[in-house]
Amino acid sequence: MSWMRVLQMVLSALLAGCLWWRSKHSTPNQLQDQEGLLFFIGVFWGYFPLFTAIFTFPLERPILTKERATDMYRLSAYFMARTLSDLPIELGLAVIFIIIIYFMTNLRHGFLPFMYTTLAVCLDVMASQGVGFCIGAAIMDVQKASTFASVIVLAFMLAGGYFVQHIPPFIGWVKYISFQSHTYKILSYIQYDNAKLRGLHGGPTKSVLALAIMVVAYRVVAYTALRRMKISA
């Protein structure tokens, strides 16, 4: 683990903690500020794991192609090892981030709300990391993959439910595949009673299920893309 990444996470958490120091939700303005914090948490942990994962396969393509040509190991073994090796680091950093920011910003008191928030962010990390693997494996060019990912992240963020409440039907489908939208919805349900939820309906169960499906589905797509690369090599 790079200590610079740890320092980056700690400083980011401290900065956010200072900006939202002892936040409240008694008035509409205070509630809006705290909703911004929840959305920031989802966006932050949707951004960094994704762009870290993008570089995984493109940078290793020459080695992977050479070693697969000599049949040194199965592609499935490589894929599982490579995608799981970075996961503990990402999740560990996310937990450190939540521990710092949760109590500085006066989010909902209690062990269960804290644990649910941590688990929701961990789901966000795994889903966004899966998107990064998927884009990197499908495009296999760091510059092109980064450009494409920036557009995807922007679309997911804008459709996340904080900036726009009423998305036109022809583009409304984006929010259903946006891990940031589902994370924001879950965090809102954890923190607030139904009376304070803004534009949210149906409970968090569907969003939890959606994120869990994304964790698996995006990795399946990434693995399929790697197999196609092998065939064309």
**DSSP labels for 152-195?**
HHHHHHHTSSSS-SS--TTTGGGGGS-HHHHHHHHHHHHHS-GG
Mean pLDDT, rounded, of the chain? 88
pLDDT of residue 230: 54
Higher per-residue pLDDT: 229 or 7:
7
Domain limits for position 141: 30-232
CA distance 133 to 189: 29
Q: Are 45 and 128 in contact (CB under 8 A)?
A: yes
Q: Where are the alpha helices (DSSP H) in the chain?
A: 3-19, 28-54, 56-59, 61-69, 75-85, 87-104, 111-139, 142-158, 179-191, 205-232
Question: Does 50 map to a domain?
Answer: yes
pLDDT of residue 136: 93
**1 pLDDT higher than 70:** no
Question: Does 13 map to a domain?
Answer: no
Higher per-residue pLDDT: 1 or 161:
161
CA distance 75 to 53: 18
Question: Does 22 map to a domain?
Answer: no
Question: Does 89 map to a domain?
Answer: yes
pLDDT class for 231, splitting at 50, 70, 90?
very low
pLDDT class for 77, splitting at 50, 70, 90?
confident
Report the percentage of the chain scoring pLDDT > 90: 59
pLDDT of residue 161: 82
Higher per-residue pLDDT: 114 or 6:
114
Contacts of 54 (CB under 8 A, 6+ apart): 132, 135, 136, 142, 145, 146, 149
Question: Does 24 map to a domain?
Answer: no
pLDDT of residue 233: 42
pLDDT class for 232, splitting at 50, 70, 90?
very low
Q: Are 110 and 103 in contact (CB under 8 A)?
A: no
**120 pLDDT higher than 60:** yes
User: What is the number of domains present in the chain?
Assistant: 1
pLDDT of residue 169: 87
**14 pLDDT higher than 90:** yes
For 194, other C-beta atoms within 10 Å of its C-beta total 9
Per-residue pLDDT tens for 127-183? 999 999 999 999 988 899 999 999 999 999 998 888 887 888 889 889 899 999 999
Predicted TM-score of the model (pTM): 0.89
CA distance 24 to 134: 39
**53 pLDDT higher than 60:** yes
Question: Does 192 map to a domain?
Answer: yes
Question: Does 205 map to a domain?
Answer: yes
pLDDT class for 197, splitting at 50, 70, 90?
low
pLDDT of residue 198: 59
Residue in the block written with tokens 């169960």: 205
Question: Does 42 map to a domain?
Answer: yes
Q: Are 98 and 116 in contact (CB under 8 A)?
A: no
Q: Residue 115 in 3-state DSSP?
A: helix
